[in-house]
Structures are given as structure tokens and as C-alpha cells.
Amino acid sequence: MRPSNATLTASGPSDNPPVQERPRRTQHTPPRPLRVRAARSLSSIFMVGPALAAVVAFILIPVVVAGRLSFTDWDGFSDSYKSLGLDNYVQLFHDPGVKNAAYVTLVIAVVGTVACNVLGLGLAVMLNGEGRVKAILRGLFFYPHVLGAVIIGFLWSAILSSEGAINTLLSAAHRSKIPFLSDPHWALASVVFVVIWSTFGVNVVLYLAGLQTIPESLLEAARIDGASRWQTFRQVVLPMLAPTVTINVVLVLVQLLRVYDLVLAMTDGGPAGHTQTYAYLVLSESFLNGKIGYASAQSIVLMIVITVLAIVVVALRQRSEKAVEQ
């Protein structure tokens, strides 16, 4: 039990400054007037209200509606629709297109998440600190994120297509063309590369922000103790960045599980559907093929997968953060 201030004072001087105890509310402390509490509640509602309304309008209602529609054959326009029970969900698990899209999405999400975080963290460590060159490089790495995904897709398809910039240069140098967008493996690799290129800038910024929260005294202490750069990074920097890593991993994972527009602009799902992501499939089934019910079932499954994955990642990260703290 912590001794009281009075005890410390009586026993002599102490290195610790006297702790200012927060005055406890006693019977003599009058309760806040009702109107003050009401005003506080009202201001809270005003502050939370818009965000809450946005969540309800743009997340909750669409999810509920999609959930309802996922059991129907609604085409998007008809005034009526038939209830199909679980048919859409059963069909989904037997659909080879869904399997292919799930595989493509998984590759993009896993490779992209790892690469974006490794690259983001590595570059953030290199670019942390003052200096004009570092500032310029930070801007350069973040720049792709400023461009829209569609612009990025068109840009890279112009660079990577069979008649694109790289292959034109290769042809001019009498070298064989590289089938960036015409071979399924190359096309998927190209999409993954562009996804990483367009995403990791945000991770750099977030890791830079995380690095700046690490107290200089800790780094100084490590240096005094003779720790090498790698040891300092591993034993001090990385543990201190644990919450930032968690945020970055979850953000990138969720973002990459929903990749659509970049694929649309870059490969349009080709060649022969080999770069169709899950989100691309959902959009194709809904707006192009008029299968709103089936697409709703697909999107509900995607939502569940993303939620579960996000929870698992956060749980795993928290466990590792605790392990580091201990």
C-alpha cells in the first residue's frame, strides 16, 4: 500500500515530489446542476451524431439491406423478387469464379500487406529525422497515394502492356518482350506490384509518425549501453512501434481485400479472368450481370471474412505486444 504524503513528509525528505491527490467528491461537494449535465450530454450527441449518422447511413443500412437481398434473386430493377433461402450462399461455394477471385484476392492481400509494412517500416526508419533530401523522398513515396486508383491503373497498364513503354524499349533493344499483362502469373505479379507501389506511402507516413513518438531518452540509453543499430531497432524501436504495426497491418489488409478499381483500370480482370479480385467479381455480378441478390451474398461473405481476419490480426498483434512488454 502506498504511504500517504503525510507519512513521507514526517519521515524526512524524499526524491519523489509530493503527489497531488485529486480531491474526492464528498458529501460537501455539490452535484453538477442538471442543466450542466444536460448541456454536456447534448454537446456529446452533437459531436458524435454526424459520425453516427454516417455509420448508420453508409454502413449499417447497406449491410442490413445487402443481408436481406442475399437471400433473394433480385436483379436490381424488378419491383418484386423471389426468396431463395440459402441458394445464393450454396452457389457461391461451388462457383469456380469465386474460388479464382478468392485466390487472387488472398495473394494480393497477403503479399501486399507484408510488403507494404516491411517497405513502409524500412523506409520510415531511413527517412526519420531532419533533412531536405529526406523530406523530398517522403513526398515522393507518398505521391502515388495521392493519385486515384483508376489513374494509377491506366498509367501502369500503359507502361506494362504488350505495346507499352517497357516492352517498346525491350523491342528497340532487340530483347524479348515480357508478358506483364498477357501471362496470368506475370499479370498477377504486376497487379501485386502496382498495388504495393500505390499503397506503401501511407505506411511510411504512419510509421514515421510512430517513430516520432519514441522518447529520445530511450534511444539515448540504448546507445549509452552500447547497443548496435540493429539491436536498438529490434529491442527498442520495434516494441515501441507495436501499436503502429497493428494499425498498419489491419488497415492495409482490409484495404487490399477490397481492391477493385485498380484491377479494373489496369487489366480489367484479364487475361482470361486471372486477375479478377473478389470485389471485382461482386461489382461485375451486381451492376453488369444484374445479379444483385447473388452479389449481396458474395459481399456479405467478404464482410464476414474481413471482420474475422481483422479480429484475428488484432488479437495476434495484441498477444505479441503483451509478450514484448513482459
Contact residues: another protein, CB under 8 A: 57-58, 61-62, 64-66, 68-69, 74-80, 157-158, 160-163, 177, 179-184, 187, 264, 268-274, 284, 287-290
Q: Which is nearer to another protein, 98 or 264 (CB)?
A: 264
How would you write the chain as a 3-class SS string? CCCCHHHHHHHCCCCCCCCCCCCCCCCCCCCCCHHHHHHHHHHHHHHHHHHHHHHHHHHHHHHHHHHHHCCECCCCCCCCCCECCCHHHHHHHHCHHHHHHHHHHHHHHHHHHHHHHHHHHHHHHHHCCCCHHHHHHHHHHHHHHHCCHHHHHHHHHHHHCCCCHHHHHHHHCCCCCCCCCCCHHHHHHHHHHHHHHHHHHHHHHHHHHHHCCCCHHHHHHHHHCCCCHHHHHHHHHHHHCHHHHHHHHHHHHHHHCCCCHHHHHHCCCCCCCCCCCHHHHHHHHHHHCCCHHHHHHHHHHHHHHHHHHHHHHHHHHHHHHHHHHC
Q: How far is the CB of 162 from another protein (least distance, A)?
A: 4
Q: Which is nearer to another protein, 154 or 197 (CB)?
A: 154
Q: How far is the CB of 187 from another protein (least distance, A)?
A: 8
Q: How far is the CB of 23 from another protein (least distance, A)?
A: 49
Q: How far is the CB of 251 from another protein (least distance, A)?
A: 19
Q: Which is nearer to another protein, 167 or 198 (CB)?
A: 167
Q: How far is the CB of 110 from another protein (least distance, A)?
A: 24
Q: Which is nearer to another protein, 172 or 288 (CB)?
A: 288
Q: How far is the CB of 90 from another protein (least distance, A)?
A: 14
Q: How far is the CB of 177 from another protein (least distance, A)?
A: 6
Q: Which is nearer to another protein, 45 or 54 (CB)?
A: 54
Q: Which is nearer to another protein, 43 or 289 (CB)?
A: 289
User: Residues 304, 102: contact at Cβ < 8 Å?
Assistant: no
Q: Which is nearer to another protein, 95 or 321 (CB)?
A: 95
User: Residues 238, 219: contact at Cβ < 8 Å?
Assistant: no
Closest listed residue to residue 16, CA positions, set 25, 7, 28: 7
Q: How far is the CB of 163 from another protein (least distance, A)?
A: 4
Q: Which is nearer to another protein, 181 or 236 (CB)?
A: 181
